[in-house]
Amino acid sequence: MFYIFFFVFYRYMKTKTRITKFKIHLLLVALITLISCTEPENKVTITVTATAYNAVEYQTKKGNPGLAAWGDQLEPGEKAIAVSRDLINLGLDHNEEVEIDGLEGTYIVKDKMNRRWEKKIDIYMGLDEEAAKEWGKKTVAITFNKINRPNDQFSSK
């Protein structure tokens, strides 16, 4: 959008006739209006407890430790998280993108945790058990897009 605006402005400055300048001026006004009318992102930031887990049987499912609760097959190196059920009710559902303070990139919700946990995420660390132990347990802020759903806390009623 910026390049279009710049090009139109450049043409405006190079044009010599009043009629053409007027048309370009109208186009610039329309572009500025369009840019200012774009809907803002609806980001939600909440504080949660974050731990880490690995695709090993004693931490996950017997027989297929890479199988997540929604049926996704997790692969080492994938940026995935498991979320507590209360966060799902807040709108942090399957395949939502999440930013985690202190970690690079975007993580995807691929797994859900046991019902006993609240306000908690579990960061998938593949087979690297040392990295998971090093992470330990931290309080972090997570940010995700608010999507209007019928029952989540952040949707407009």
pLDDT given at position 135? 94
C-alpha 157: how far from its chain's center? 23
Q: Is residue 156 part of a domain?
A: no
Is residue 70 domain-shared with residue 122, that is, in the same domain?
A: yes
Question: Are residues 53 and 24 part of one domain?
Answer: no
**119 and 84 within one domain:** yes
What CA dihedral angle connects 8, 9, 13 and 18, to 10 degrees?
Answer: 60
82 C-beta neighbours (distance < 10 Å), count: 24
Tens-place pLDDT, residues 96-123: 999 999 999 999 999 999 899 999 999 9
* Tally of domains within the chain: 2
Helix (H) or strand (E) holding 2: helix 2-14
- Judged against a pLDDT cut of 80, whether residue 136 lies above it is answered with yes
Domain limits for position 17: 2-36
Same domain, 29 and 50: no
Residue 154 lies in a domain: no
CATH number at residue 70: 2.40.40.10
**Do 90 and 32 sit in the same domain of this protein?**
no
What's the angle, vertex CA 60, arms to CA 101 and CA 81, rounded to 5?
Answer: 20
pTM for this structure? 0.67
